Amino acid sequence: MPSALSETRLFRKRSSQTKSQITTISKPVPRSGASSPIDSTQRPSEEKTAVGDSSSSDILRNNHSPSPKYDEILLDDSAILAPCEYIRSLPSKNVRATVVQACNLWFKLSEIHTVAIIDIISDLHNASLILDDIQDDTVLRRGSPATHCVYGNAQAINSAIYMIVNNCAKLGQLQLVGPAAMNALVNGTIELSVGQSWDLKWKAHLHCPSVGEYMAMVDGKTGAMLKLIIHLMHSMSDQRQMDSAMHLFDRLVLLLGRFYQVRDDYQNLQDDTYSEQKGFCEDLDEGKISYPVIACCNADPTAKDIILGIFREKRDPSVNPLPKSTKIFMLQVIDRSGAFESTWNMLQTLGKDTWDALLALEEATGKASPGLQQMIKMLINTVQPPKRW
């Protein structure tokens, strides 16, 4: 029987042989023309290993076979543009385009710049509508299915973000546009997002803001969009005499934004045309803290408990939309509180203030704008006194 010392020596000898074999297999194959640690008289392809009859180069070739070739496939932008084209195809009042064309009386921009601003503002507005409909669980937009109801939330959100970011690219492609234009676009977009954040927070927490808080929120949404139009046009204009009138432009669009938004809140609960396009009193389905709701809650604590209580229970997915009978009851509560009457009175005040702001701007610049005059008159004259519920 071999001794333990003999077994140990035999194990070490076999281990040494195995290590030598592994080292031989794993020796790198030198590149052509490169110096080799192997004797120059012996080529790597001639060196045999201890494993079968294969050379190390044979083993490397087997382990590194060429990768298969694939045809390159280029995907177009049709998927991301489909929701964009859909929202653009829906009927619109084109208020923002009207403002651009009417104000060009003062800024005198080229057709290329005017069309570009209308395109940028329209896309920014449409992107905000896509996101707004998702955030408010709205199923109709301008009488048609909301964009996310056609393409799904994920694709709609992706396309809305694309439209917002792509606006910067569009602006950057315009000639003779300085950094002031990009600053106006970026700052305006930020202001829109901040304004929307308060609207969403009040709705989520069922908080009824004061009239002053509501107006500040509107200034950050509707007013900020109109202000963005004016400051984009100003940044591209060479009419430097308009510099001294910018505070008058700012006042006009701020009042116009307030009037437009309060009017929209009022018409949603009063105008049958809105019911045809968006559904009967759709703002109540959304649980929207609109101006008539704020006026109601601030005037009558009992009415506030009823309205906010229904909004709270409406968060149950099974209660969507609200039954028509429930919405009629809410309209009666709002009516009894005097909120529709006070909203009507606010619209008369805002309409007059907006008209006066336009006249002040026209007087300061020495130029009248028939386009803005016609638009503001239309907005004022199409608001009817409140119905009794």
Q: Angle CA(294)–CA(259)–CA(118) in degrees, nearest 5?
A: 125
Task: Decide: 149 and 155 in contact? Cβ < 8 Å.
Answer: no
- pLDDT-based confidence at 42, cuts 50/70/90? very low
What is each CA distance from 138 to 130, 216, 317, in whole angstroms? 10, 24, 13
DSSP 68: P
Parallel, antiparallel or unpaired: strands 144-145 and 140-141: antiparallel
Please tell me the predicted confidence (pLDDT) of residue 146: 94
Residue 22 pLDDT class (50, 70, 90 cuts): very low
Distance of alpha carbon 196 from alpha carbon 93, whole angstroms: 21
**Domain segments of the chain as ranges:** 78-381
- Give dist(CA 285, CA 248) in Å, integer: 38
> Is 1.10.600.10 the CATH number for 78-381?
yes
Looking at residue 224, its pLDDT comes to: 95
Residue in the structure block whose two tokens are 């009417």: 102
* CA 169 – CA 159 distance, rounded (Å): 15
With contact defined as beta carbons under 8 Å apart, do 253 and 230 qualify? yes
Tell me the pTM.
0.78
Whether 297 contacts 206, CB under 8 Å: no
Cβ atoms < 10 Å from Cβ of 28: 10
Mean pLDDT (whole number) for 248-275 = 93
Residues 290/217, Cβ–Cβ less than 8 Å: no
Residue 262 and residue 339: Cα distance in Å, rounded? Answer: 12
Q: Which of 98, 99, 128, 100 is nearest to 113 (CA)?
A: 100
The yes-or-no verdict on residue 45 having pLDDT over 80 is no
Mean pLDDT of 157-161: 97
Q: What is the pLDDT of residues 47-60, one digit of tens each?
A: 444 444 444 445 44
Q: Are the beta carbons of 162 and 148 closer than 8 angstroms?
A: no
97-151: pLDDT as tens digits = 999 999 999 999 999 999 999 999 999 999 999 999 999 888 888 889 999 999 9
Judged against a pLDDT cut of 80, whether residue 180 lies above it is answered with: yes
Is 140 in a helix, a strand, or coil? strand
Q: What six digits make up the tokens of 235?
A: 């940044």
Closest by Cα among 191, 342, 324 to 253: 191
pLDDT value for 105: 95
Q: What is the mean pLDDT of residues 209-223?
A: 96
Cα first-last separation, the chain: 113
For residue 67, the model assigns a pLDDT of: 59
pLDDT at residue 69, as a whole number: 65
Q: Is the pLDDT of residue 211 over 50?
A: yes
Sequence-separated (6 or more) residues with CB below 8 Å from residue 182: 168, 171, 172
Which tokens go with 291? 């101006």
- Confidence band, pLDDT 50/70/90 cuts, at residue 38: very low
